[in-house]
Amino acid sequence: MHTLVLMLIAAPTTYPEALTRPVLAKVERFEWPAPDDFRKNWARRDAEGHQVVRGTVKESGGGRFAGWFLITDGVAHALALDPPRPSSPSSWRLFYSDGNTFEEEERLPNEMSDADLVAWTYVSTLVKPAPADRVQFDEPLHDVLRATDTPERLTAWLGANKADDAMFTRLLRWEPMGTCSMDDTPADAARLKAELAYARGDLGNFLRLQVNIMGDQFRRVAYSSYGEEAHETQADRLLSTGIDFEKFMLGLLITRPQSTAWLDAWRWARSVSEAGKAPAMRKVLAGIVEAPDSDAYTRLRATQAYAYLAIVAEPKRSRVSFNNALRVTQKLALHPLAAAWVKAELAER
């Protein structure tokens, strides 16, 4: 009997047909992906996650830093370091010519779990990639942006131009560079493009642009926490699309090197909060934080988002409130990597 139960638990999840269906009837305004598109991404279940290792960096100057690292392109990026910690470096080349070395102690599994595969497939299928031939400056499109600076003028412009294929193609290529961290131009341009995609029934491009706005994912000559704070996520716009909000947001948290869309944990938490979905999503996050079959990096990101959700809506966030959120997070059954991150955050403040 026990053997049978174990076999059933280990068996791959049956392909969820519901994955292919929209939530709301009004989504008929959009061109929804074909069921086979979802199945093709589902079949990519071998798309491995980000590689996390336990290791030690030994610097030529005598420093020795142990902890958990994310390995990408020959670089070890520190996720959580044991004390003592360096004051500035956060990443090291794995191969040195100056005597520094990296010793790998443990390489963690990074295969995608069945539960995580559902959300990842959802986002990978729904979100279209960005155009490859993007431009930063186009004076006529700046004129369009200035001519649609009120809701009334935007509505009129969309009605007059939503059938213009050439305009839409040209607009999608335009990604203006922000002049400073507070510059709203990139987000305003993305909102204009997103609303045109929405009016045309192009769900894939609408979602890509919406994710860019939610993540504040724009090129700027300068970045700052003040700029990030000033840029709203506008995440409640997702609620009018007919997508499964919970599944979509989880798909933006469960990232892979091949992911077409993602959000960092802080902007993810802001998006969920500003859409009014924090209480429900916090319960879902707790399940991922403690899921033994989710990979280490996914559980770390879920842990970070769980902690951030506790404070992101506070009008005046403080170190005390964040520490309290971290201590509540510590009560969950954390992965050792996530536990090390929480411990390091508490120690550094």
Tokens 């009837």 found at = 25
Residue pair 124/259 in contact by the 8 Å Cβ criterion: yes
Mean pLDDT in the chain?
A: 87
pLDDT at residue 98 is higher than 60 = no
Residue 137 in tokens: 């400056």
pTM: 0.90
Mean pLDDT of the region 97-125? 86
pLDDT at 218: 85
Structure confidence by residue, pLDDT tens digits, 284-305:
999 999 999 999 999 999 999 9
Residue 91 in tokens: 């990443």
Mean pLDDT of the region 91-112? 78
Task: Determine the Cα–Cα distance for residues 27 and 204; give it in Å rounded to an integer.
Answer: 12
pLDDT at 75: 84
Structure confidence by residue, pLDDT tens digits, 49-70:
899 999 998 877 778 889 999 9
At 64, give phi and psi (nearest 5°): -140, 115
Q: Please, which pLDDT band fits residue 139 given cuts at 50, 70 and 90?
A: confident
Beta carbons within 8 Å of 28's beta carbon, 6+ residues apart: none
Structure confidence by residue, pLDDT tens digits, 4-29:
333 333 445 678 888 888 876 556 77
HSE at residue 13, side-chain half, CA atoms within 13 A, is 15
Structure confidence by residue, pLDDT tens digits, 217-254:
888 887 777 677 778 899 999 988 888 999 999 999 99
pLDDT at 108: 93
Task: Determine the Cα–Cα distance for residues 188 and 148; give it in Å rounded to an integer.
Answer: 10
Task: Determine the Cα–Cα distance for residues 235 and 263; give it in Å rounded to an integer.
Answer: 12
Structure confidence by residue, pLDDT tens digits, 164-208:
999 999 999 999 988 888 888 899 999 999 999 999 999 999 999
Residue pair 100/49 in contact by the 8 Å Cβ criterion: no
Which range, 34-43, 128-137, 291-300, is most confident?
A: 291-300
Percentage of the chain exceeding pLDDT 90: 54
Q: What angle do CA 121, 264, 256 make, to 5 degrees?
A: 35
Task: Determine the Cα–Cα distance for residues 105 and 103; give it in Å rounded to an integer.
Answer: 6
Mean pLDDT of the region 257-279? 93
Beta carbons within 8 Å of 329's beta carbon, 6+ residues apart: 289, 303, 306, 307, 310, 342
pLDDT at residue 273 is higher than 60 = yes
Q: Dihedral sign, CA of 174, 179, 180, 185?
A: negative
